[in-house]
Amino acid sequence: MGLKVAKFGGSSVADGIQLTKTKQIIEADPDRRYIVVSAPGKRFDGDSKITDLLYLCKTHADHNLPYDQLFQVVADRFMAVQMNLDIDINLHAHFDAIKENLGKGCTPDYIASRGEYLNAVLIAAFLGYDFVDTEGLIQFDSKGRLKQKETDEALREELLKHERAVLPGFYGSMPNGDIKTFSRGGSDVTGSLVARAVGAEMYENWTDVSGFLMADPRIVKNPKPIHKISYLELRELSYMGASVLHEDAIFPARAANIPINIRNTNKPEDPGTIITAEPDAENTNVITGIAGSKDFTVIALYKNMLAGERGFIRRILSVLEDFDMSIEHVPTGIDTLSIVLSNKTLDGRLDEVVDAIQKQVNPDSIETFEDMAMIATVGHGMSRRPGTSATLFTALANADVNIRMIDQGSSELNIIVGVQNKDFDKAIKAIYEAFV
Please, what is the minimum distance in Å from the beta carbon of residue 182 to ligand ASP?
A: 7
Which of 244, 246, 238, 10 is closest to 112 using CA atoms? 10
Residue selected from 139, 187, 273, 297 as contacting ligand ASP according to rule CB under 6 A: 187
Binding of ligand ASP by 10 (CB under 6 A): yes
Binding of ligand ASP by 252 (CB under 6 A): no
Residue selected from 8, 110, 126, 170 as contacting ligand ASP according to rule CB under 6 A: 170
Of 27-35, 183-191, 268-276, 340-348: span binding ligand ASP (CB under 6 A): 183-191
* CB atoms closer than 10 angstroms to residue 344: 8
Interface residues for ligand ASP in 27-46 (CB under 6 A)? 38-39
Quick one: 265 or 414, whose CB is closer to ligand ASP?
265
Q: Classify 241 as helix, strand or coil.
A: coil
Q: Which residues are CB-neighbours of 46 under 8 A, at least 6 positions away?
A: none
Please, what is the minimum distance in Å from the beta carbon of residue 220 to ligand ASP?
A: 27
Task: Tell me the C-alpha distance between 372 and 1, whole Å.
Answer: 48
Interface residues for ligand ASP in 83-102 (CB under 6 A)? none
Binding of ligand ASP by 51 (CB under 6 A): yes
Q: Classify 174 as helix, strand or coil.
A: coil
Which of 323, 371, 366 is closest to 343 using CA atoms? 371
Please, what is the minimum distance in Å from the beta carbon of residue 402 to ligand ASP?
A: 38
Binding of ligand ASP by 169 (CB under 6 A): yes
Binding mask 121-160 for ligand ASP (x = CB under 6 A): ----------------------------------------
Please, what is the minimum distance in Å from the beta carbon of residue 429 to ligand ASP?
A: 32
Task: Give the CB-nearest residue to ligand ASP.
Answer: 187
DSSP string, 334-351: SSEEEEEEEHHHHTT-HH
Residue selected from 4, 32, 33, 49 as contacting ligand ASP according to rule CB under 6 A: 49
Please, what is the minimum distance in Å from the beta carbon of residue 41 to ligand ASP?
A: 7
Quick one: 214 or 234, whose CB is closer to ligand ASP?
234
Residue selected from 184, 224, 267, 422 as contacting ligand ASP according to rule CB under 6 A: 184
Contact in structure between 226 and 209 (CB atoms under 8 Å): no
Quick one: 129 or 171, whose CB is closer to ligand ASP?
171
Binding of ligand ASP by 192 (CB under 6 A): no
Task: Kindly determine how many residues on this chain lie close enough to bind ligand ASP according to the rule CB under 6 A.
Answer: 12
E strand intervals along 26-178: 32-37, 130-131, 165-168, 171-173
Please, what is the minimum distance in Å from the beta carbon of residue 186 to ligand ASP?
A: 5
Q: Which residues are CB-neighbours of 287 under 8 A, at least 6 positions away?
A: 214, 377, 378, 379, 381, 382, 388, 431, 435, 436
Binding of ligand ASP by 172 (CB under 6 A): no
DSSP structural state of residue 175: T
Which of 380, 288, 293, 304 is closest to 340 using CA atoms? 293
Q: Classify 310 as helix, strand or coil.
A: coil
Task: Tell me the C-alpha distance between 207 and 204, whole Å.
Answer: 10
Quick one: 10 or 363, whose CB is closer to ligand ASP?
10
Residue selected from 77, 127, 167, 185 as contacting ligand ASP according to rule CB under 6 A: 185
What is the enclosing helix (H) or strand (E) of 278?
Answer: none
Q: Quick one: 219 exposed, middle or buried, by C-beta within 10 A (0-12, 13-18, 19+)?
A: middle
Binding of ligand ASP by 186 (CB under 6 A): yes
Residues in the site for ligand ASP, rule: CB under 6 A? 10, 38-39, 49, 51, 115, 169-170, 184-187
